Structures are given as structure tokens and as C-alpha cells.
Copies of this chain bind each other. A is one copy, B any other.
Amino acid sequence: NISVNVFESKIPFSEFKVSEAGLIPVITQDYKTGEVLMLAYMNEEAYNRTVTEGRMTYYSRSRKCLWLKGESSGHYQYVKALYTDCDKDTLLAKVRQIGPACHTGNKSCFYTGLLNNEYKESDPYRILQSVYGVI
């Protein structure tokens, strides 16, 4: 019961600046909350599949193959918007995330804080976000 959008890309993959291995990093963000979920990589085929099928497909550097996110777990990422940056060497995807993004079961892969006195997210803005989550 999920509406899948399929797209065309305004810019072909060949215009992106890729690594020697032909890969470009992709930041994946929850389209509603803005939470950064993960960073992964795409090659040209992964990019084209993502755009035409409307679900995030990456290139797995460890397994050296295409990786349709959610294929085994069911935790698909449906594409809502896709951006490149000013020098075309990074992508940003806004997605509807089904279930957790992280294989550990966390919503986001970035659950490990590094600092000992971090900013606590208790300001009114975050409270408004929490309120919206409930209503």
C-alpha cells in the first residue's frame, strides 16, 4: 500500500565526479524528519536503477555487487527526492524508510555519539517535532 514514484534524471550519471572505482557517495535522509539514516555508494547501474525503479539501490563495496536496499530485510527506501551538490561529487537522497535503515535495528546508522558533552536536543523546535510525531 505504498505509492512508488518512478523518475527520470535531469543529469546523466556521466556528469557526476566519481572515484577511481566509479562510485559516488550517497547521503540518505528521512524525507519527513530530516534524520540522516546512512551513507552508501552508487555506481552508474545502481543510480539508474534507483531513478527508474524509485527504490534505493546501492553498490556494495564489500560484496562488490548491486544492493537493492531492503531486498532481504523488507526495509526498502522509497525515493522522494534526489539532489547533487555544487561540485557534483556527492548525492543526497530523501526517502521514505520502511523499518530501520541500519542492520543493527537502529533507525539510523549514526547512533554512536563521539563527544562527551554534546548538545542535547531538548529545544522547543525538537519538541514541536515530537508533538507532530504523535498527532
Given contacts A7-B117, A102-B86, contact A33 B34 (CB under 8 A): yes
Given contacts A5-B117, A8-B116, A82-B113, contact A36 B32 (CB under 8 A): no
Task: Flag whether A104 is at the interface (Cβ < 8 A).
Answer: yes
A112: contacting residue among B27, B35, B85, CB under 8 A: B85
Count A-side interface residues using an 8 Å CB cutoff.
Answer: 53
A123: contacting residue among B32, B106, B110, CB under 8 A: B32
Query: A46-72: which residues lie under 8 A (CB-CB) from chain B?
Result: 51
Q: Are B27 and A115 in contact (CB under 8 A)?
A: no
Task: Flag whether A134 is at the interface (Cβ < 8 A).
Answer: no
A135 to chain B, nearest CB (A): 9
Query: A78-135: which residues lie under 8 A (CB-CB) from chain B?
Result: 79-88, 90-92, 94, 102-104, 106, 109-119, 123-125, 128-129, 132
Task: With A7-B115, A83-B112, A85-B112 given, name 4 new contacts (CB 8 A).
Answer: A8-B115, A11-B112, A29-B36, A34-B35
